[in-house]
Amino acid sequence: RERGWHLQGSPLSLQVLAYNRHTFATVSQRLLITVIPAPGGDPPYQGEFLVGNRNVEELLPEAVQEMFLQASAGVWERADLQVINITSALDRGGRVPLPIEGRKEGVYVKVGSHSPFSPCLVSATSPQSRFRCSLGQQPLASCYDTFAPHFSIRWCNLTLLQVWPSPTTPGPVWGSGVLEEDGDFQPPTEVPPQDLLPGFLVTLLVPLVVALLLCLLLGHLMCCRREGV
């Protein structure tokens, strides 16, 4: 978890809390991470795959990520791929798997590239493919699934994004702070005085009148409505 904000290039303090899913033992560790921008900028073409036969900790080792990038390069038909984000399916509303048959929780892996998507990926996210997914069928894919057998991809959950850098707006231009010789200071327009007395009287008198009426009503019920009076 991360608290507060930080400047780019300054150390970022992260507190990592982990637990053992078998013994439920927890351990905490604080990490200092320096965030620096990517050399070539963020990749504009990003694809997010749902890996159904893995847990999130199984995708964290660098060797497994390299294997996943090689499999992604087979369907993306590009080699300049990089892993952007790894998220457990439980954080996206997924259900905890039953402890039978070695079922996994599922992992979302986002991969980015500076090259456009391949026709295979585009066809897998086409309206025709989405329609087939709504019928419980596999989407259209014109390429060989290079993820198998190590990674079981849920192709109906494939998401393709094109992220373009937002234009930066120029900031304010600061002057020297010294008024020029011929410049005249123009004060802000004066606000006409407002009469606050009516509002004050309404705010003060209305609760007092209501309280007085309640007191009279309560006194009438307690004193004049007694038995024999």
Please tell me the distance from the alpha carbon of residue 222 to that of residue 216, in angstroms, as a whole number.
10
Residue among 137, 142, 174 nearest 156 (CA): 137
Residue 167 lies in a domain: no
Residues 161, 18: Cα–Cα separation, whole Å: 31
Look at residue 220 and tell me if it is in a domain. no
CA distance 46 to 85: 10
Give the per-residue pLDDT at 145.
Answer: 84
Cα gap 88→134, rounded to integer Å: 24
Confirm whether 194 is domain-assigned.
Answer: no
CATH at 90 = 3.30.70
Six token digits for residue 29 = 């560790």
Tell me how many domains the chain contains: 1
Q: Dig out the tokens for 70 from the structure.
A: 């090689």
Could you give the CA distance from residue 108 to residue 158 in angstroms, rounded to a whole number? 10
In a domain, 211, yes or no: no
Q: Which residues pair with 110 in a beta bridge?
A: 48, 85
pLDDT mean for each 10 residues of the chain (229 residues): 51 82 87 72 89 90 93 89 91 79 88 91 90 87 83 91 71 65 68 82 91 91 71
Structural domain contains residue 53: yes
| DSSP label of 95 | P
Which secondary-structure segment (H or E) carries 206? helix 197-219
Quote the pLDDT of residue 1: 42
Strand partners, 153: 51
Instruction: For 134-229, list the strands marked E by DSSP.
Output: 159-162
Q: Which domain holds residue 82?
A: 41-162
In a domain, 63, yes or no: yes
68 located within any domain: yes
Q: pTM score > 0.75 for this model?
A: no
The answer to whether residue 216 is domain-embedded is no
